[in-house]
């Protein structure tokens, strides 16, 4: 695997409310069962609340996934999202200044060539295969709902003034129901997975993402994509993580 990740505050924010994590077990036995875990999260609720929510989310997902006795990676990811939701709620109740905080979260578990994932919010997971780029996640956002109902076009959604309003996030509401694949996806040699927050996909087109990933190592692609987002004004925090099957 060729793996890299990068997070940048962008050009217009004072604090970075994004968070990302990559984890592998320490033992061969655990690695065979758990594989690789990658998570990105984009916090909300004021700079302190957003930073805290995204930190709690990635830590809770990793800790729960690693400790879960469940042999099904998909179920372990779901447990991690539920635990993250619980911890964010608990911390917001403990500290009134954090009331209303929440975070997006997109997490993948790669066990062998089998891909499992869980997703909530508008961070994204893409699969790149040859010259094709496919978005595997669905944005939980107000404008995404407008597009689905035919009120606006996908092109109009890109510049919609309410495009950052989420309809689901960790820490928001009484329950958490992350999106999951119907079954594990099988990756092929040369496939790449890209996780990112809206600070990237909001200003960099899918074709530009594909070109950067296909023409560079994972580390160089991360640097180039972050630089391109900053060149476009970097209106939000920018986080990207790439995992390529060699």
User: The domain that contains 165 carries what CATH number?
Assistant: 3.60.40.10
Q: Is the pLDDT of residue 47 over 90?
A: no
pLDDT confidence of residue 152? 83
Q: Which domain holds residue 25?
A: 2-244
181 vs 241: CA distance, rounded Å: 20
**Average pLDDT for residues 131-155, to the nearest whole number?**
89
Q: Is the pLDDT of residue 206 over 70?
A: yes
pLDDT confidence of residue 187? 98
SS3 track for 164-193: CCECCCECCCCCCCCECCCCCEECCCCCEE
Helices (H) and strands (E) counted in the chain, each on its own, are 8, 11
pLDDT confidence of residue 162? 78
Long-range contacts of 133-138 (CB under 8 A, 24+ apart): 133/206, 133/207, 133/209, 133/210, 135/206, 136/181, 136/185, 137/106, 137/179, 138/179
* Average pLDDT over all residues of the chain: 95
Q: For 51-107, how does the pLDDT look when each residue is reduced to its tens digit (9 = 90+)?
A: 999 999 999 999 999 999 999 999 999 999 999 999 999 999 999 899 999 999 999
pLDDT band at 144 (very low <50, low <70, confident <90, very high): confident
pTM of the entire predicted model? 0.94
**Average pLDDT for residues 126-138, to the nearest whole number?**
97
pLDDT confidence of residue 5? 98
**Average pLDDT for residues 204-230, to the nearest whole number?**
98
Number of domain units in the chain? 1
């Amino acid at each position: 695997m060729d793996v890299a990740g990068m997070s940048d505050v962008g050009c217009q924010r004072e604090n970075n409310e994004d968070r990302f994590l990559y984890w592998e077990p320490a033992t061969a036995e655990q690695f065979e069962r758990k594989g690789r875990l990658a998570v990105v999260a984009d916090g909300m609720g004021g700079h302190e609340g957003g930073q805290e929510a995204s930190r709690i989310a990635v830590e809770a997902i990793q800790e729960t996934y690693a400790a879960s006795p469940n042999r099904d990676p998909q179920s372990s990811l779901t447990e991690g999202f539920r635990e993250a939701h619980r911890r964010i709620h608990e911390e917001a109740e403990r500290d009134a200044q954090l009331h209303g905080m929440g975070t997006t979260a997109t997490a993948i578990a790669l066990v062998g060539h089998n891909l499992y994932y869980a997703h909530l919010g508008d961070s994204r997971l893409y699969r790149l295969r040859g010259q094709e780029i496919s978005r595997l996640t669905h944005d939980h956002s107000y404008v995404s709902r407008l597009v689905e109902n035919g009120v606006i076009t996908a092109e109009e959604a890109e510049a919609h003034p309410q495009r950052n309003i989420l309809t689901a996030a960790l820490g928001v509401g009484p329950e958490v129901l992350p999106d999951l694949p119907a079954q594990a996806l099988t990756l092929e040699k040369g496939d790449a997975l890209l996780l990112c927050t809206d600070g990237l996909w909001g200003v960099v087109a899918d074709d530009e993402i594909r070109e950067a990933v296909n023409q560079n190592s994972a580390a160089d692609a991360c640097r180039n994509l972050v630089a391109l987002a900053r060149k476009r004004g970097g209106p939000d925090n920018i986080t990207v993580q790439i995992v390529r099957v060699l």
